[in-house]
C-alpha cells in the first residue's frame, strides 16, 4: 500500500509498467444522454458545461490534445507512459463506428499504455464493450461508471436518471470483458449521512469493481444544487465531516479495490461552496491523518 493505508493507482501502474505513468484527459466532443436526447435535465449538481473540458469545441483535435499533453507531461514529470482518459461527458454515447474512430486516435502512440473511458451505466452495451476490449493487447483498460450513491432515494433526489440496479447490470455485463471497472461515488449528497456512505461502500465491495474514485459534492454556480443551497435546503459538508466520511468509507471498502481519488477537483471560478475543497493537498493530508489517528486501513471494517 506504498505507506498509505489504502491501495493507490500508482501502486498498480508501477507494478505493471515500472515507469512513471501520467494521465492525459481527452475531450472527444461527445455529450451527456441525461441532458440531450432524454431532456431529463441532468443531475442537480451539474451545470450546462457538465463534465466537459470543451477542448474539441475550441478547435483542438484529439490528436493535438494527445500530443500537447504528452509533451507537457514529458517536460514536467519526465513521464514515459500515459493513460488516455476520455473524461469529458459520456464516451460511449455515439454509434459504434464513431466510437471506433475516436478510440483509434491513440493507436499511433506506443507510449499510451492505458485507456480509461468515462460513461454512465445506462450508456453501455455488449457491442461497445467488445470494441473497447479490442484495445487491450499491451494496454490496461478502465471503464469508468458513475454510481454516486448506492441509495435509490438519493439517486432520485439528485435526478441522476438511473437507479442502483442499472449500475449493477452494467458492472455485471462489463465483468465478462477483459477490462477494469472504476466506480465513481460522491460523499455529501443531499439527505445522506454516514450510514449511506457505509452502505454504498458495501454495495461497491459486493461487485466486481476493481477501482474507485471518491468525490466530494460541491456546489457549482448555475446548478439546481446552488438554488437549494441559496434557499437553505442544502448544507455542504465541513472538511472534518468529509474526512471522517471518507475514512469510514475506506474502512468499509474491499481491500483489493484501487482507490484512484479521495476528493473532488472543483474549478475555482465555478465553485460556490465549500471553499476548503480548493486546497486538495490539505484535504488529502487531513484524510490520511484521520485514517492514521483512527487506526483505519482499507477493508478493516469489511465483513
Ligand atoms: S453529472 Fe454527468 S450524467 Fe449528470 S447531467 Fe452532468 S454530465 Fe450528465
Out of 41, 46, 167, 215, mutate this one to test ligand 1's pocket (max ligand atoms within 8 Å of CB): namely 46
Whether the model clears a pTM of 0.85, i.e. scores above it, the answer is yes
- Ligand 1 centre from 45 Cα, in Å? 8
Out of 35, 122, 265, mutate this one to test ligand 1's pocket (max ligand atoms within 8 Å of CB): namely 35
Out of 43, 48, 166, 270, mutate this one to test ligand 1's pocket (max ligand atoms within 8 Å of CB): namely 43
Query: Which numbered atom of ligand 1 lies nearest the CA of 51?
Result: 7
Q: What is the predicted pLDDT for the residue at 51?
A: 58
Query: Which numbered atom of ligand 1 lies nearest the CA of 160?
Result: 4
For residue 283, give Cα distances in angstroms to 65, 214, 277: 30, 13, 7
Burial of 107 (0-12, 13-18, 19+ CB in 10 A): exposed
- Ligand 1 centre from 33 Cα, in Å? 8
Q: Would you call 153 helix, strand, or coil by DSSP?
A: helix
Looking at the DSSP bridge assignments, the partners of residue 112 are 82
Cis omega before residue 274 (within 30°)? yes
Exposure string for 149-181, b = 16+ CB within 10 A, e = fewer: bbbeebbeebebbbebebbbebbeebeebebbb
Query: Which numbered atom of ligand 1 lies nearest the CA of 120?
Result: 3
Q: What is the predicted pLDDT for the residue at 53?
A: 65
Burial of 135 (0-12, 13-18, 19+ CB in 10 A): buried
Q: What is the predicted pLDDT for the residue at 10?
A: 87
- Ligand 1 centre from 123 Cα, in Å? 12
Alpha-carbon distance of 301 to 169, in angstroms, equals 26
H, E, C per residue of 92-119: CCCCHHHHHHHHHHHCCCCCEEEEEEEE
Burial of 225 (0-12, 13-18, 19+ CB in 10 A): buried
Lining residues, ligand 1, CB within 6 Å: 32, 34-35, 42-43, 46, 50-51, 89, 120
Q: Which three cell numbers stand for residue 240?
A: 472534518
Distance between first and last Cα of the chain: 20
Q: Which three cell numbers stand for residue 82?
A: 500515459
Residues of the chain with pLDDT under 70: 1-2, 36-39, 48-54, 57
Query: Length of the chain in residues, anyone?
Result: 303
pLDDT tens digits, 190-212:
999 999 999 999 999 999 999 99
Q: Would you put residue 41 in left (φ > 0), alpha (ψ -120 to 50) or beta?
A: left
Looking at the DSSP bridge assignments, the partners of residue 220 are 271
Q: What is the predicted pLDDT for the residue at 303?
A: 78
Alpha-carbon distance of 125 to 162, in angstroms, equals 15
- Ligand 1 centre from 148 Cα, in Å? 11
Q: What is the predicted pLDDT for the residue at 172?
A: 98
Amino acid at each position: 500500500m506504498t505507506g498509505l493505508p489504502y491501495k493507490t493507482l500508482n501502486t498498480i501502474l508501477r507494478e505493471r509498467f515500472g515507469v512513471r505513468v501520467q494521465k492525459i484527459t481527452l475531450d472527444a466532443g461527445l455529450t451527456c444522454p441525461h441532458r440531450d436526447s432524454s431532456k431529463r435535465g441532468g443531475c442537480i449538481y451539474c451545470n450546462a458545461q457538465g463534465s466537459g473540458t470543451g477542448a474539441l469545441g475550441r478547435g483542438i483535435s484529439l490528436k493535438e490534445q494527445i500530443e500537447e499533453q504528452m509533451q507537457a507531461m514529458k517536460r514536467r514529470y519526465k513521464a514515459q507512459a500515459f493513460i488516455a482518459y476520455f473524461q469529458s461527458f459520456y464516451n460511449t454515447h455515439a454509434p459504434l463506428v464513431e466510437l471506433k474512430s475516436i478510440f483509434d486516435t491513440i493507436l499511433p502512440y506506443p507510449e499510451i499504455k492505458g485507456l480509461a473511458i468515462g460513461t454512465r451505466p445506462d450508456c453501455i452495451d455488449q457491442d461497445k464493450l467488445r470494441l473497447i476490449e479490442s484495445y487491450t493487447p499491451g494496454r490496461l483498460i478502465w471503464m469508468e461508471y458513475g454510481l454516486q450513491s448506492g441509495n435509490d432515494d438519493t439517486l432520485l433526489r439528485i435526478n441522476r436518471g438511473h437507479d442502483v440496479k442499472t449500475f449493477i447490470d452494467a458492472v455485471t455485463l462489463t465483468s465478462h470483458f477483459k477490462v477494469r471497472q472504476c466506480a465513481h461515488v460522491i460523499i455529501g449528497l443531499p439527505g445522506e449521512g454516514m450510514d449511506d456512505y457505509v452502505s454504498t461502500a458495501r454495495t461497491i465491495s459486493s461487485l466486481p469493481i476493481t477501482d474507485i474514485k471518491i468525490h466530494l459534492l460541491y456546489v457549482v454556480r448555475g446548478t439546481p444544487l446552488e438554488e437549494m443551497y441559496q434557499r437553505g435546503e442544502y448544507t455542504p459538508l465541513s472538511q472534518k465531516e468529509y474526512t471522517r466520511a471518507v475514512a469510514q468509507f475506506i474502512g468499509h471498502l474491499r481491500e483489493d479495490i484501487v482507490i484512484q481519488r479521495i476528493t473532488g477537483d472543483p474549478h475555482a471560478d465555478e465553485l460556490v461552496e465549500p471553499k476548503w475543497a480548493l486546497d486538495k493537498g490539505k484535504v488529502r493530508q487531513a484524510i490520511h491523518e484521520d485514517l492514521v489517528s483512527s487506526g483505519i486501513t482499507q477493508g478493516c471494517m469489511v465483513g
